[in-house]
Structure 1
């Protein structure tokens, strides 16, 4: 089943102009389409809709040591709570950290790169409030963090 994620503003890349009332259609772990919500809703009338406050865009890349926490799983979750869906490989140096990242579908990259939402690309999304704080994170199509 498809899910349409929509927000007041949607960015395919954080440094480009937003699409007002934009949306992203996700099926399993992939982006099926992105564009204006009204157009996508018409094309996918039975899709579940998640409407978010703030700005919807690509998941962030965490380029630095992972936050301290008691377990590797909690360290990975702390990264997901920031809207990051990828980490740079050199920062997965503690025992069990790489396995925890892979279990949670966090992308492991050889180096930092710009994030982008593309058709048929992996469904990695972040929803940010006006201050840039993460409201929600979608990693490989799964909602893995939602601020209450």
Structure 2
């Protein structure tokens, strides 16, 4: 099935000189045509809609960009525990738990780590994340990450503690982009309820309204 995703502004990759719609400059009213798990076309929504009148259209508020890459994925998912809402909130609170002492008190098991990682990957998807960099040594965590649809990349250098928001510590939103949106590329992108890249960097990835991986809508803000 063909699907056209469109938003107020399309950013197909890091800004550079070149014609609109080729991954070089923000395109107002731009759209991405998805067929299966690949991008079949990029350009103004009106042009794609006219060329593919039977395609399903999904209209999103804000800016559509490449999905984001989060660094320190192993720290976030193998060394941080995400309490099970609502069952553990009264006892443990709602914030992620990290640190050797706190984790020792939880008496973590492989199964519990896997369940925590599943909740963690949902938090990442809700921030437009499509790829994680890190080395996963826990089989349960690795399985949870693979099943989530997130791409696993080798560890990448980063400063400070790992953060669920891939934009933390970045100088520009494009520094967190994973890949570019162009015909033939994987259909892997996110939409944020902001006016543009500058506002995205300022307001953070929690403004995500939708995350698409492999052509599938894996997160949609309710």
The normalised TM-score by structure 1 is: 0.89
Q: Give the whole-Å Cα distance in 1 for the aligned partners of 2:155 and 2:139.
A: 20
- Residue 50 (structure 1) shift: 0.3
User: More strand by proportion, 1 or 2?
Assistant: 1
For 1:14 and 1:135, locate their aligned partners in 2 and report how far apart those are by CA, in whole Å: 21
Whether 1:75 aligns to 2:153 is: no
8 Å CA contact 2:66–2:177 kept in 1: the answer is no
Unaligned stretches of 5+ residues in structure 1? none
Hey, what's the Cα distance between the residues in 2 that align with 1:66 and 1:142? Answer: 24
Correspondence list, 1:100-111, <5 A: 100-111=144-155
Deviation at 1:21, TM superposition (A): 0.3
1:121 aligns with one of 180, 185, 203: 185
Distance in 2 (alpha carbons) for counterparts of 1:87 and 1:11: 21
Higher helix share: 2
Residue in structure 1 matched with residue 211 of structure 2 by the alignment: 137
**Are the aligned partners of 2:189 and 2:212 in contact in 1 as well (CA < 8 Å)?**
yes
Of 26, 47, 55, the match for 2:34: 26
Structure 2 unpaired stretches of 5+: 16-23, 84-114, 157-175, 195-202
Aligned residues: 147
Does the CA-based 8 Å contact 1:66-1:76 persist in structure 2?
A: no
Query: Counterparts of 1:137 and 1:147 in 2: how far apart (Å)?
Result: 9
Indicate yes or no: 2:56 matched with 1:48. Answer: yes
Q: In the alignment, which residue of structure 1 is the partner of 2:140? A: 96
How far apart are residue 9 of structure 1 and its match? 0.2
Q: Given that residues 33 and 48 in structure 2 are in contact (C-alpha distance below 8 angstroms), is that contact kept between their aligned partners in structure 1?
A: yes
* 3-state secondary structure, aligned to 2:8: strand
Which range moved further: 111-120 or 136-145? Answer: 111-120
30-39 or 130-139, which moves further after superposition?
130-139
Query: Does the 8 A contact of 1:80 with 1:137 survive in 2?
Result: yes
CA distance in 1, matches of 2:218, 2:60: 15
Max Rg structure:
2
Structure 1 vs Structure 2 CA RMSD: 1.9
